[in-house]
Amino acid sequence: MPTHVSKTTDLLFRVGMTVKGVDSLFEVIGGIILTMPTKLAGYILVLSQHEAFRHHMALSGRLDRIAENVMMHPSMGEAAYLMVHGLSKVILIVAIIRGRKWGYLGLMGVLSLFTLIELIRAIAAHEVVTGIFGVIDLGVVFLIYKEYASRFLAGEVSAEANPA
């Protein structure tokens, strides 16, 4: 019979996978958009002229500067990073949804690596928000491990305890 803790952990795992999946899709989309700096700058300029921003000169001006920066400094490296990082997580999350063992192991590895990079960057640059997201990602890695252990390691332990 599942306990309250296991139900909560299961819910947190499902929410974590959903959030990571949506985030990963946005990374892929963002990477694709970054490969088209002219179009991206155009979208930002259109947004800055929207009625919601037009009356706020500081915000509208900020959006105009962002659009100019995108045009002047297109970054294919950042675009590639977002697409590869996002697509790898999408593939691994789909594998987890399909119950593939390698999906759990792969996602734990990918998230652990990028979380380590994220936390090092947060500490080096004193970026509190990045650090918070890094800690949240560590929590997601822990939830993935708990789910992996309950699905795959529990059977191995009981098989070792009851040799046939």
Q: Under 8 Å CB-to-CB from 109, ≥6 apart: which residues? A: none
Could you tell me the pTM of the whole model? 0.70
Interval 59-95: pLDDT, tens: 656 666 666 666 666 577 778 888 888 999 999 999 9
Whether pLDDT at 53 is above 60: no
Angle between helices 4-34 and 37-48 (to 10 degrees): 110
Residue 149 banded pLDDT, cuts 50, 70, 90? very high
Q: According to the model, what pLDDT value does residue 87 have?
A: 93
pLDDT digits (tens, 9 = 90+) for 17-26: 999 999 999 9
Question: 8 or 60: whose pLDDT is higher?
Answer: 8
Expressed as residue numbers, the domain containing 51 is 4-161
Gyration radius (Cα) of the chain, Å: 21
Task: State percent of the chain over pLDDT 90.
Answer: 37
Q: Which two tokens stand for residue 126?
A: 């004193």
**What is the widest separation between alpha-carbon atoms in the chain?**
75
Structural domain total, the chain: 1
Q: For residue 73, report the phi and psi dihedrals to the nearest 5 degrees.
A: -135, 60
